[in-house]
Amino acid sequence: MSTRKFPVPTFKNKDLISKSPLVDGEWLDPNNAKEYFEVTDPASNEIIAKMPEQTSANVEKAIDAAYRAFQTYRKTSPQERSKWLLNLYNLMIENKEDLAKLISWENGKSLEESRSEVQYAASYFQWFSQEATRVYGTTIQPSNPTSRVFTIRQPVGVCGIICPWNFPSAMITRKMAAALAVGCTVVIKPDSQTPLSALALGKLQEQAGFPKGVVNIILSHKNTPECGKTLCQSYRVKKVSFTGSTQVGKILMDQSSSTLKKLSFELGGNAPVIIFDDCDLDAAVNQTIASKFRGLGQTCVCSNRIYVHSSIIDKFADLLAEKVKKFVIGPGLEDGVTHGCIINGKAIEKIEYHANDAIKKGAKIVLKGGPLKDIGPNFYAPIILSHVPNNAVVSKEETFGPLCPIFKFDTLEEVVGYANDTELGLASYVFSKNVDTIYTVVEALEAGMVSCNTGIFSDAAIPFGGIKESGFGREGSLHGIEDYTVLKTITIGGLPPML
């Protein structure tokens, strides 16, 4: 076991640190809870905080608060909401370093990556501060000449927001920003492994000027299924947005059926990367690394299956391994660390299961990787395998970790078939200098997002979301507003004919 001392962050703005749920503008006394759950630093497994375990009754109170606040917040002007959102963006940037430290502390990613996440998370408040004043309707020419028809968009109502641990700030902001922009109120349920970042956002939105009850944050670990069910089955919650596994998404969808509420789900991914022999090889290697090893592979859009043309597969694998060896893996809060740790031991078990299965079936080991227990219990060096057979489990299942399996292909038709041979369809990547190849593959791939010649595409300005069992709905962009509004058609009849 490691005897290493792990860094503990210091914060300039200590008011950002909270251990209390936020309901109706009040920070509830955590000492009144009957049960608590522990939040740990995944780098050291040391306890960071003890949080009050809430129940469905607590969630109902948060929903009631959000519902009451909605009655007045929906009537605020787009300009007011725009101002509050921009205030929140500026506050996040002012507190960027503290927010990044919080993410690294509870999530384990490197401080460099956490800073990028804060910037990315804040950008949604900036983007939707502008979109708040651009919620447009349409005019329609009906067949009846004595009628006039137009449409308006109105806020859907109280929104339940359920988020994962891998982007504890950004997964909240890209839902919350769109909801607040159009006049919805929210009840946020962060992952129990990473609640501190959500609570810090709760502190900042108060300073930004949002009215009480507009933003509510509930906390739970053991009672999470019960709390999620309450959000889904409440008649007062008109929309639920969830990011997480496909399995849980199906449960939430079933629970929401009794109220027929609006849903938007960003679920599992199994992203293919297709690298043709005419690509810029150095760029393809660098961008594959950017995609595959962001967050040490713990992202929904990271490349999970690397398909490389047979004529360059060995060269690609060697170049990839050469660069991955230069990673500096360690506690995320330490200077110079490029990659942090895995979230927990269960995630490591899945990485090793996928790697061992591929090796047993004939995959070639290019970079051995494996546990780094001299650093800490959840540290893991990347594994690179090449000539992975198509019957390996990793070709069908998302690893969510630093296992990089490389498959070979010979023809465009063949590799498109491999890439689409999955029930998931979130992101995909293509590398080629030939525009005909790019466009043909882009149209053929069954994915909600296709990134060409780049491994990083996340941006508040683009629509983010998947198809098939990767979910539905879009976050960010001008389309991100749509899932938080309802379209109302207004007909005025009996008008005189046009003069």
Residues recognised as catalytic: 266
| Secondary structure (H, E, C), 346-408 | HHHHHHHHHHHHHHHCCCEEEECCEECCCCCCCCEECEEEECCCCCCHHHCCCCCCCEEEEEE
Cα 143 from chain centroid (whole Å): 45
Q: Residue 192 in contact with residue 275, Cβ under 8 Å?
A: no
- Tell me how far apart the alpha carbons of residues 37 and 196 are, in angstroms, rounded to a whole number: 13
- DSSP letter at 263 equals E
Half-sphere exposure of 164 (CA within 13 A, CB side): 18
Which amino acid makes up residue 443?
A: E
- Tell me how far apart the alpha carbons of residues 208 and 453 are, in angstroms, rounded to a whole number: 39
CA proximity to 442, closest of 458, 463, 464, 427: 427
Backbone angles phi, psi at 187, to 5 degrees: -120, 115
∠ CA 199-200-202, nearest 5°, is 60
What token pair was written down for 418? 């491999």
Q: Residue 236 in contact with residue 158, Cβ under 8 Å?
A: yes
- DSSP letter at 208 equals H
Backbone CA torsion sign across 68, 74, 75, 79? positive
Crossing angle for the helix pair 313-324 and 281-292, to the nearest 10 degrees: 50
Half-sphere exposure of 95 (CA within 13 A, CB side): 28
Pairing of strands 449-452, 427-431: parallel
Q: Is residue 443 exposed (0-12), middle (13-18) or buried (19+ Cβ within 10 Å)?
A: exposed
What token pair was written down for 243? 């990011």
**Distances in Å between the alpha carbon of 273 and those of 158, 305, 458?**
38, 6, 16
Q: Residue 19 in contact with residue 102, Cβ under 8 Å?
A: no
Crossing angle for the helix pair 78-94 and 96-107, to the nearest 10 degrees: 70
